[in-house]
Amino acid sequence: MEEKKSNPIKATLYISVWVIIWGTLGSLIDYPLYKNKIYLEGSIYQYLTFTVTAMISIISAKFFYKKFKL
């Protein structure tokens, strides 16, 4: 049985794409909440927004990593 070798360049690009997706998604959710004064910049709720979107991004990245077989 052969062990699959991962390509570090592909893995780095894959992680980079997911960081961009996470930042974009977090910002798209954060912007209207901040502009409508639902919470203030730097509040715990803003950190919570980005933390939750990070968790969603990590779970999604793991799921798709298995599908793409990188």
User: Is 26 a member of any domain?
Assistant: yes
Residue 9: C-alpha distances to residues 12, 21, 50, 58 (Å): 5, 18, 27, 19
Mean of the per-residue pLDDT values of the chain: 89
User: Is 4 a member of any domain?
Assistant: no
pLDDT of 14-67, one tens digit each? 999 999 999 999 999 999 999 999 988 899 999 999 999 999 999 999 999 888
Domain encompassing residue 32: 19-61
Domains of the chain: total: 1
User: Is 2 a member of any domain?
Assistant: no
For the question of whether the overall pTM of this predicted structure is more than 0.95, the answer is no
Residue 36: C-alpha distances to residues 8, 13, 20, 30, 46 (Å): 42, 35, 25, 10, 13
